[in-house]
Structure 1
Amino acid sequence: MKIVLFGGAFDPPHLGHQHITQILLNQQIADEVWYVPTKEHPFSKSMSPVVHRLAMLKLIINNPRIKIEKYELEKGGISYSRDTLDYLSNKYPQHSFAWIIGSDNLPDFHKWGDSQGRDYQDLLDHYRFYVYPRKNFALKPLYKNMIPLEQMKEIEVSSTVVRQNVKQSQPITKLVDPLVKEYIHTHHLYVE
């Protein structure tokens, strides 16, 4: 089975995340998509508590081919894509794994490594990466084993915009699933 891992903070998950997932499934790029929420970001990005991010992710899953992989949450500490890919490949040798990233990751992709000191080139020697277009970030330059999803419309929404809108009492109706919107308001997330 072809599994595409979709890593991120998901703080909060937005309609762009859902759109990307549906494209991967509908175009048969993936048999399943597994969201991989990170516990600690390798580039020290501050995040909401895991309990809220995980609860919101669960709210947007309405397809048995979409799952949440909790390895990075349970492992603790900083997680690297390579470590996660290696772990899952060893745990599920019957599946092939790939990762999806936004084109906003391309400028700093050369900084990607892992806990063993292996660099981004070693990562790409072993795993395929799909790249979706993000606003203001070109789908180039691509490294080997990167496949651009050029047919996909540019993803303009971001979790940062959602958080800013909530903080400034601006609407988020067109940015997140209604269940996520309700969760954000019920739990008073992103107001400070």
Structure 2
Amino acid sequence: MIIVYGGAFNPPTKAHYNIIQTTYELFKPKAFIAIPVGELYHKDDLVSFSDRSNMLKLYQKDFPFLIVSHLEEKQKFNGTVETLEKISQEYRDEKIVLLIGSDQYLNFSNWIKYEEILKKYELIVILRPNYKIDETKYDEYNPRIRFIQLDLDISSTEVRNNVELNKDYLMNDVYEYIIKNKLYRR
């Protein structure tokens, strides 16, 4: 099994850290690949790919199994399905599993070729507090969706809005990286 965990990681928080730790312990994948969205992804307030990637790499001291991918760094975003296809080509004999959060699951039908993703790949969905989701919504496409409840109510947006006030949401070395590199200044 290869777990693919994509996201902005803008910045990576203790929630991301706990998600990586928990899913690794539960599933013991052969590889765990974190993929920050690239520079060409349309999202407000993204710091550079390099900074987001470097912050994620700080987790590797605790998670030597973590691979921080540069697959989306420079490419035009054509959907997660394209990224998953590239990973499938690299890991031909492995099952590829996409790891997403409740917020992404709620908007999954807006993803590019979401039906193709559901038919070809298994999903792990991290359930977050205050998100009401229908766990059977995509059963017609894919009955192999696993849901994991984690009580992680941490927001990267809150951190970006006020790093000092929300520094407890960050691992210490990520916080130090943000301060040293003067990220998320308002």
> Partners in 1 of 2:161 and 2:60 — Cα distance?
24
Cα deviation code 1:110-152 (max 9, x no counterpart): 1111xxxxx31122111111100123212424413352433x3
The match for 1:14 is: 13
> Partners in 2 of 1:41 and 1:4 — Cα distance?
24
TM-score by length of structure 1 reads 0.86
Give me the CA root mean square deviation: 1.8
Q: Percent identity?
A: 29
* Distance apart, 1:79 and its partner CA: 4.2
The match for 1:190 is: 184
* Distance apart, 1:34 and its partner CA: 0.7
Q: Please, which of 138, 152, 156 is the counterpart of residue 153 of structure 2?
A: 156
The match for 2:84 is: 85
Cα deviation code 1:51-110 (max 9, x no counterpart): 111111111122222111211114x22141100111111122022211111111122211
Secondary structure, counterpart of 1:61 in structure 2: helix
Indicate conservation of the 8 Å contact 1:11/1:48, yes or no: yes
Of the structure 1 ranges 120-129 and 130-139, higher mean CA displacement relative to structure 2 is found in: 130-139
Q: Please, which of 173, 177, 181 is the counterpart of residue 179 of structure 1?
A: 173
Matched, 1:61 2:60: yes
Sort the Cα spacing of 1:139 and 1:33 in 2 relative to 1 into closer, same or farther, 3 A.
farther
1:1-192 pair list within 5 angstroms? 2-28=1-27, 30-40=29-39, 44-46=42-44, 47-62=46-61, 63-74=63-74, 76-113=75-112, 119-141=113-135, 142-144=137-139, 145=142, 147-150=145-148, 152-166=149-163, 169-172=164-167, 174-192=168-186
Q: How many residues get paired?
A: 180
TM-score by length of structure 2 reads 0.88
> Partners in 1 of 2:68 and 2:166 — Cα distance?
28
* Distance apart, 1:41 and its partner CA: 6.6
* Distance apart, 1:188 and its partner CA: 1.1
Secondary structure, counterpart of 1:130 in structure 2: strand
Secondary structure, counterpart of 1:6 in structure 2: strand
> Partners in 1 of 2:116 and 2:49 — Cα distance?
30
Gaps in structure 1 of 5+ consecutive residues = 114-118
Indicate conservation of the 8 Å contact 1:40/1:78, yes or no: no
